[in-house]
Chains A and B, each alone.
Chain A
């Protein structure tokens, strides 16, 4: 048996596939690619597969990670092209290898946020100097948090008519969805309600800020 990890991009139109649907789409792609994936042994056998860091529906990503097991020894040399020939449009595998590091070490997410049609980098910059409280919801309920406790690094700039933020956000056990950054900026009166936003995950990083694979 061989534990495989793949890194893949999730672009339009696949960015609209939800997390659960994506798992199913990947399982089917593995079958179409004819790869010897391992099945669970329960009452309802299915390909065992996990997506390491979930992504909200509608977000693009240049770097997603998924693990599954193959019943063969070693990585089939043509795994990447075979899988790429079997994926829905917008999903592209960019790397495959042995899954070694535990998923828990995927501690950070590097996001690009584009607010379309607004130029407000300076205002955001000053807002981030002070406490920026939002109500963060999770399965365990909701609580007030300071956005800045979750933002490790960020840059802000204006491109054309848009404002672009590149930020490294906390992931892991208590992750921050970049939509909270938008929410905070709306609360501050910096962004108008209903501003079109594009979120793109650029990378998944470990605790040291290095690309996690």
Chain B
């Protein structure tokens, strides 16, 4: 370890997150590799290390001959201060080498509020922000992750944005890079070749023109780039690459456990949910594959918990048999199964009991809205009856803590819908009094209410977010109505949700704003203690951009959105149909009841696993 780094680590909180050397970290000989890839997570280590996708890509890249993939995370403010004071550049954890030494920097864009952290990491690496300022082939700065379905606000910063699943596209990127380097191709030649590959979005090859009102007039591809960039997906998910081992951190992280992925995609079609549309089509792994992967990870990591992840785990068709088989194996070894993302309408107590033999946790459900009317609008096909049934069974079995997640500011929402949230909480309390096996222990109901943020590539992309005054008024209404004994609630400040809404549906004119916010000190906007909207408001003003134009404005039916040239598989026509059904309060049956022809099948050509 170099002396500068050691000196920094004397003065920061949780230094081990900056030290590397975790069990399972891959260290290769610099001389034996020809491509060095830095997997950059623009968030703190604790968050980044919890992310399954990064673990998959890390394993995949390091399994390739001649490729060494390392990790880099955003430093917390104390570490940034120490590093800058000592002139220590951003480095990768495995080798400690500066990021500027790498061939490719791959950023994952998980959350809009991480954008300034991308710039900060580039700045600390001494790498220019804009793709146009980086004229040589190396270092390439690329991006992937869920935010790519509208990455226009950050598009100018990246040479290539990989749309879809990295297992498919990253090996091709490496191959293409090697060929370009060997043939002495210029960066421009390389990018032109890249743009021909499905899922490779080269922002510099698209010109955006605007109407007088600021809306997009046209997005025009150049140099033979395709009109639409189609998402890449793994076709045979059961056989897709999955790592044999994870890096096991030596300090606490948010999700510190082994994980296997039951399936990708979700059949439910909740209209606010970006993942529910952009991860289609639905592809499941077989129970045999999952068992093998879970067992292997437990052996290699030493974890005592395995999480069965997906967007809606109780929708996995073989869940019971899988859990039974895994618990039979794991329970004697004191290994716990975790089942996040359960739905109240197919909640199964036997399953919960079976899963939680080792350690019992609380229950979490997400009704999302307070009345059936609004739940129909958002297509959260869940009835309060189902929720109360699930709670009744669970209370009877000794559970006494329930978390309920809602959103406020949903399209068509009225005060009645908001008051419905308190009414559900009260009914859960009554339910406990009637059905609890052990009433003396008392009950805890916690209600979390997030502010709705309209996201690109969803049926709700046409809606604007309610404005600041209205958010504040509705939150006050919620606070007044949720003052109930044994109920705790949490609401988020409007500021971060507002900024998220600006960035989620924003266009390329936001790039200088993001840079301006960074210049004013924005770094880790996802953290309350670091976030200050004023820096952003100043940056908007400086650039002459009205944030409300992106956050609060409803888009016109025929308006060209900034992300129209990115194809997630679900057609705009399908999304518009869902939008219209929502206005009529009409739910859409889930995909199990029959294919709705959303368009995603065009990506694989095979039927969804529902």
- Partner-B contacts on A (CB < 8 A): 12-14, 16-18, 21-22, 24-25, 27-32, 34, 39, 43-46, 57-58, 86-90, 196-197
Contacts and interface: CB of A to CB of B under 8 A. Distances in A.
Given A28-B248, A28-B303, A88 B23 contact: yes
B23 A28 contact: yes
Interface stretch (B7-15, B225-233, B482-490): B7-15
B25 A16 contact: no
A197 B15 CA distance: 16
B337 to A, nearest CB: 14
B6 A86 contact: no
Contacts of B304: 28, 31, 46
Contact of B21 (A13, A39, A43): A13
Which secondary structure dominates where chain B touches chain A?
loop
B128 interface: no
Contacts of B299: 32, 34
B21 A14 contact: yes
Contacts of B6: 12
Given A12-B21, A14-B21, 9 more contacts: A16-B19, A17-B251, A21-B250, A25-B250, A27-B302, A32-B299, A46-B304, A58-B10, A58-B15
Nearest to B256: A24
A11 to B, nearest CB: 10
Contacts of A18: 14, 16, 251
B21 A58 contact: no
Contacts of B358: 45
A86 B250 contact: no
B9 A16 contact: yes
Nearest to B248: A28
A197 B9 CA distance: 12
Give 3 closest A-B pairs by Cβ, nearest first. Answer: A89-B21, A28-B302, A13-B19
A6 to B, nearest CB: 16
B15 A196 contact: no
Contacts of A21: 16, 250-252
B300 interface: yes
B235 interface: no
A57 B15 contact: yes
Q: Quick one: which of A30, A31, A39 has the most chain B CB within 10 A?
A: A31
B23 A86 contact: yes
A14 B23 CA distance: 10
A32 B300 contact: yes
Contacts of A17: 16, 250-251
B101 interface: no
Q: Quick one: which of B1, B18, B301, B358 has the most chain A CB within 10 A?
A: B1
Contact of B302 (A29, A39, A43, A197): A29
A56 to B, nearest CB: 11
Q: Quick one: which of A12, A13, A30, A89 has the most chain B CB within 10 A?
A: A13
B359 A90 contact: no
A31 B16 contact: no
